[in-house]
């Protein structure tokens, strides 16, 4: 794993090196490719012929997948050796990874096979058990004060989760049996995408179709969006220069003519649910995945273009969707949303969260996160977002947690009352684990005379004052019109 958290390209072992030409460079090779004026190692994921010549789809070392791009020959340095793919090894690994989609608690894989499980498979199999997102950050601190923690006077029971769930891997699989399976499992690209859309699992994807962004451009209301990741829209949509999505009902169209016809007929002007919050700035709607299956599936397809690691597209029944909009004379326009399980065994209060790219970095993510915690407060529960978090998700949550804990502590510091981790957790509806990790990351926990104490460094107070001056909007909890919905077991899932 690279420092940025992205898998390193070519991390599958040593590779043979040699010179390549534009004709011999093939999928799986690692070449030196210019990005932002710098030469970077990049894995070639696909090759296509265009009117202007051959193009190579590159995944750059240390860069998030959303920065993958098609590059012309001129950006590849053929003076340098390329690293050839380990073909035989790859096939075996591929076969194993395919098998690894079977999640089972029955058998323990050997350490060797555990290592070989790809990152995406891990993240699916380990949902709910991934170490805390701040674990890496604070690991060294934990090590340093491991013994102190044992004596801590503040009761904190939570420890970061263990590794990924066990997976059943077929150790005996030979290349021949893998090839046979490959044959029986071979799908057309079209079938494969249909299967992805209707199963919602990225791991059932022998052709690794999902590694390559399929939609290049989306017209959405008055915005043009440039997707970051693959989303399983029907195969034909991938061949269009631009697709069209109705910003209200979220139906998708491959051509302008049918889209225009739809727009004339479409009467929806806001998300199809109850408006549970309204202020001068935004509204929130609550939508039941079971009652509004098509709309919610369409929302998931849309959001998959900007979310890399979540698998939900089709089985939306067990989820509620909290959708934030902004109003004008034309209607309520989608800004972002979060989904939430009707009943979460892991006490998650958010499954997926997204601000559409045209609204990002304007403070809407904070509003979405705040709203999710306000709902938890009403429920009287402590909540946390589903893991793993994306890079942007982690940045946003860290910011939210830090700001809110600091604000609360500043209020407490003025009074006499003692503030413990439990008090913070209850007041903010955050898990004690998230509170403790945040305090550690901000170096706000000190060990003094056999006791853990919370301190507020002066620098943080000053920083917070500055950022508060910039921060314009917050959710007004008084305006939330919501009672925790009650579901029967049948209404949480599929109707059959």
Residues lying near ligand ACO in the complex (CB under 6 A) are found at 306-307, 350, 352-355, 360-366, 385-386, 389-390, 392-393, 395-396, 399
Query: What, of Zn ion, ligand ACO, none, does residue 246 touch, CB below 5 to 8 Å by kind?
Result: Zn ion
Instruction: Please confirm, yes or no, whether 386 is among the known catalytic residues.
Output: yes
Return the number of the residue (326 or 491) whose C-beta is nearest Zn ion: 326
Contact 137, 397 (CB under 8 A): no
What is the footprint of Zn ion within residues 230-259 (CB under 5 A)? Answer: 246, 248-249
> Is 17 in a helix, a strand, or coil?
strand
C-alpha dist (Å) from residue 370 to 128, 166, 215: 22, 34, 32
In the complex, minimum distance from the CB of residue 261 to ligand ACO, in angstroms, rounded to a whole number: 31
In the complex, minimum distance from the CB of residue 246 to Zn ion, in angstroms, rounded to a whole number: 3
Return the number of the residue (211 or 398) whose C-beta is nearest ligand ACO: 398
In the complex, minimum distance from the CB of residue 258 to Zn ion, in angstroms, rounded to a whole number: 12
Q: Which residues pair with 338 in a beta bridge?
A: 322, 353
Contact 126, 164 (CB under 8 A): yes
Query: What, of Zn ion, ligand ACO, none, does residue 249 touch, CB below 5 to 8 Å by kind?
Result: Zn ion
C-alpha dist (Å) from residue 243 to 28, 68, 187, 214, 252: 29, 20, 25, 11, 7
In the complex, minimum distance from the CB of residue 408 to ligand ACO, in angstroms, rounded to a whole number: 18
Return the number of the residue (228 or 248) whose C-beta is nearest Zn ion: 248
Q: Is 193 in the site for Zn ion (CB under 5 A)?
A: no
In the complex, minimum distance from the CB of residue 81 to ligand ACO, in angstroms, rounded to a whole number: 35
Dist CA 36 CA 158 (whole Å):
43
Compute how many other C-beta atoms are within 10 angstroms of the C-beta atom of residue 129. Answer: 14
Contact 200, 192 (CB under 8 A): no
Return the number of the residue (398 or 452) whose C-beta is nearest ligand ACO: 398
Burial environment of residue 343 by CB neighbours within 10 A (0 to 12, 13 to 18, 19 or more): exposed
Return the number of the residue (134 or 248) whose C-beta is nearest Zn ion: 248
Which alpha helices (H) appear in 269-420, and where do they start and end?
Answer: 293-304, 364-379, 391-414
Determine which one of 83, 127, 286, 386 is catalytic: 386
Query: What, of Zn ion, ligand ACO, none, does residue 292 touch, CB below 5 to 8 Å by kind?
Result: none
In the complex, minimum distance from the CB of residue 358 to ligand ACO, in angstroms, rounded to a whole number: 10
Q: Which residues pair with 54 in a beta bridge?
A: 49
Contact 390, 447 (CB under 8 A): no
To 10 degrees, what angle do helices 391-414 and 432-441 make? 90
Contact 358, 247 (CB under 8 A): no
Return the number of the residue (97 or 431) whose C-beta is nearest ligand ACO: 431
Query: What, of ligand ACO, Zn ion, none, does residue 63 touch, CB below 5 to 8 Å by kind?
Result: none
Q: Is 269 in the site for Zn ion (CB under 5 A)?
A: no
Q: Which residues pair with 220 in a beta bridge?
A: 223, 245
Query: What, of Zn ion, ligand ACO, none, does residue 306 touch, CB below 5 to 8 Å by kind?
Result: ligand ACO
Return the number of the residue (114 or 269) whose C-beta is nearest Zn ion: 269
Q: Is 331 in the site for Zn ion (CB under 5 A)?
A: no
Q: Site for Zn ion (CB under 5 A): which residue of 266, 408, 410, 419?
A: 266
Which alpha helices (H) appear in 145-188, and where do they start and end?
Answer: 146-150, 175-184
Query: What, of ligand ACO, Zn ion, none, does residue 169 touch, CB below 5 to 8 Å by kind?
Result: none
Contact 458, 180 (CB under 8 A): no
Query: Mask of contacts with Zn ion, 85-124, x by CB under 5 A?
Result: ----------------------------------------
Q: Could you tell me how many residues of this chain bind Zn ion (CB under 5 A)?
A: 4
In the complex, minimum distance from the CB of residue 125 to ligand ACO, in angstroms, rounded to a whole number: 17
C-alpha dist (Å) from residue 242 to 224, 245, 250, 355: 9, 10, 15, 21
Query: What, of ligand ACO, Zn ion, none, does residue 354 touch, CB below 5 to 8 Å by kind?
Result: ligand ACO
Task: Please name which of 233, 228, 229, 236 lies closest in space to residue 245, comparing C-alpha atoms.
Answer: 233
List, by residue number, the catalytic residues.
386
Residues forming contacts to Zn ion in the complex (CB under 5 A) are 246, 248-249, 266
């Amino acid at each position: 794993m690279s420092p940025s958290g992205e898998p390193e390209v070519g991390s599958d072992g040593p590779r043979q090196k040699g010179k390549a030409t534009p004709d011999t460079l093939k999928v799986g090779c690692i070449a030196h490719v210019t990005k932002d004026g710098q030469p970077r190692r990049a894995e070639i994921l696909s090759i296509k012929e265009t009117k202007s010549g051959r193009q190579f789809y590159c995944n750059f070392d240390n860069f998030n997948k959303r920065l993958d791009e098609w590059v012309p020959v001129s950006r590849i340095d053929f003076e340098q050796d390329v690293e050839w793919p380990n073909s035989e090894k790859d096939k075996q690994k591929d076969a194993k990874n395919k098998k690894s989609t079977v999640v089972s608690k029955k058998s323990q894989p050997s350490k060797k096979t555990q290592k070989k499980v790809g990152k995406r498979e891990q993240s699916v199999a380990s949902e709910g058990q991934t170490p805390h997102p701040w674990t890496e950050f604070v690991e060294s601190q934990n090590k340093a004060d491991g013994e102190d923690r044992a004596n801590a006077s503040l009761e904190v029971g939570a420890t970061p989760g263990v590794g990924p769930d066990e997976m059943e891997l077929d150790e005996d699989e030979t290349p021949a049996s893998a090839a046979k399976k490959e044959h029986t499992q071979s799908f057309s690209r079209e079938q494969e995408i249909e299967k992805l859309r209707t199963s919602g699992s990225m791991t059932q994807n022998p052709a690794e179709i999902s590694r390559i962004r399929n939609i290049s451009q989306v017209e959405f209301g008055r915005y043009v969006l440039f997707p970051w990741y693959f989303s399983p829209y029907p195969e034909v949509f991938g061949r269009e220069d631009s697709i069209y999505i109705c910003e209200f009902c979220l139906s998708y169209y491959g051509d302008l003519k049918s889209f225009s016809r739809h727009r004339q007929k479409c009467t929806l002007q806001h998300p199809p649910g109850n408006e549970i919050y309204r202020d001068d700035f935004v509204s929130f709607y609550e939508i039941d995945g079971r009652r509004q299956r098509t709309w919610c599936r369409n929302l998931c397809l849309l959001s998959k273009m900007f979310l890399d690691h979540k698998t939900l597209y089709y089985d939306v029944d067990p989820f509620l969707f909290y959708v934030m909009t902004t109003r004008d004379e034309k209607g309520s326009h989608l800004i972002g949303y979060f989904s939430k399980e009707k009943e979460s065994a892991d006490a998650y209060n958010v499954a997926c969260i997204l601000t559409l790219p045209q609204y990002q970095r304007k403070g809407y993510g904070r509003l979405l996160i705040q709203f999710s915690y306000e709902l938890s407060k009403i429920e009287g529960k402590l909540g946390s977002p589903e893991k793993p978090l994306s890079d942007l998700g982690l940045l946003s949550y860290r910011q939210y947690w830090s700001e809110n804990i600091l604000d609360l502590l500043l209020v407490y510091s003025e009074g006499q009352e003692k503030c413990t981790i439990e008090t913070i957790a209850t007041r903010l509806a955050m898990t004690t684990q998230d509170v403790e990790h945040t305090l550690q990351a901000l170096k706000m926990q000190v060990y003094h005379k056999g006791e853990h104490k919370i301190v507020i460094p002066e620098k943080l107070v000053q920083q917070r004052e500055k950022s508060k001056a910039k921060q314009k909007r917050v959710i007004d909890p008084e305006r939330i019109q919501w009672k925790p919905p009650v579901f029967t077991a049948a209404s949480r899932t599929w109707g059959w």
